[in-house]
């Protein structure tokens, strides 16, 4: 049952990223719901599942992305592993911890992605980091925390529990 729910959530996130992300962009800053899904999934399922989810979601995104094939898969795989290993024994129901982990994961993903995508041009990397990565990470983190809090309030159950 849990695997079916996770597959359905992934399908919804893929659809929302493809259709809604551009419409809710603020000053050109779009949320990256796919990284948020990888963070959530990795945090709840552990490093092996997190790496598998990161690779799968990243590869699906790469099929539609302008960058090199596998770049999103690489970045999301690393993020999935780091979040699962680093977030295993933290208080996941704490809003501050959630904010830090989602923000950190978004920034790590973008540093990996833009490092390769900018092809070693440090100025291009810095522009992408400051004008795309940081605003997108903040926007996505706040949006995800609002969604998590709303769903938890209506379902009366924690989505990010403290025990696996």
How confident is the prediction along the chain (164 residues), in pLDDT tens digits per residue? 778 888 888 898 999 998 999 999 999 899 999 999 999 899 888 899 999 999 999 999 999 888 789 999 999 999 999 998 887 677 777 788 889 989 999 999 999 999 999 988 999 999 999 999 999 999 999 999 998 888 878 876 666 655 54
Q: Is residue 35 within 8 Å of residue 21, measured between CB atoms?
A: no
**pLDDT on residue 162:** 55
The four Cα atoms 145, 148, 153, 156 give a dihedral, to 10 degrees, of -140
Q: DSSP label at 129?
A: I
Residue 107: Cβ within 10 Å count: 19
Name the nearest CA neighbour of 162 among 56, 91, 106: 91
Q: What is the pLDDT of residue 31?
A: 95
Q: What is the pLDDT of residue 67?
A: 77
Beta bridge partners of 29: 26
Task: State how far the alpha carbon of 16 is from the alpha carbons of 11, 37, 114, 126, in Å.
Answer: 9, 12, 23, 28
Determine the Cα–Cα distance for residues 143 and 124; give it in Å rounded to an integer: 27
For residue 4, the model assigns a pLDDT of 87
Predicted confidence at residue 78, as pLDDT, reads 97
So what's the pLDDT on residue 164? 46
Q: Residue 107: its pLDDT value, please?
A: 97
Joined together, the tokens standing for residue 23 give 């419409």
Cα dihedral sign, 82-87-92-97: negative
| CA atoms of 53 and 58, how far apart (whole Å) | 8
Using CA atoms, how far apart are residues 54 and 44, in angstroms rounded to an integer? 13
């Amino acid at each position: 049952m849990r695997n079916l729910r996770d597959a359905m959530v992934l399908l919804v996130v893929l659809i929302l990223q493809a259709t809604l992300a551009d419409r809710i962009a603020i000053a050109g800053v779009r949320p990256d719901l796919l990284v948020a899904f990888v963070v959530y999934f990795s945090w709840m399922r552990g490093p092996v599942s997190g790496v598998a989810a990161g690779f799968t979601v990243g590869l699906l995104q790469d099929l539609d992305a302008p960058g090199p094939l596998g770049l999103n898969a690489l970045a999301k795989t690393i993020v999935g592993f780091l979040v699962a290993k680093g977030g295993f024994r933290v208080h996941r129901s704490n809003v501050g911890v959630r904010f830090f982990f989602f923000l950190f994961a978004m920034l790590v993903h973008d540093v990996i992605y833009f490092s390769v995508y900018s092809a070693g041009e440090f100025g291009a990397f810095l522009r992408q980091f400051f004008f795309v990565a940081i605003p997108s990470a903040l926007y996505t983190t706040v949006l995800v925390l609002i969604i998590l809090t709303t769903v938890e309030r209506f379902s009366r159950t924690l989505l990010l529990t403290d025990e696996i």
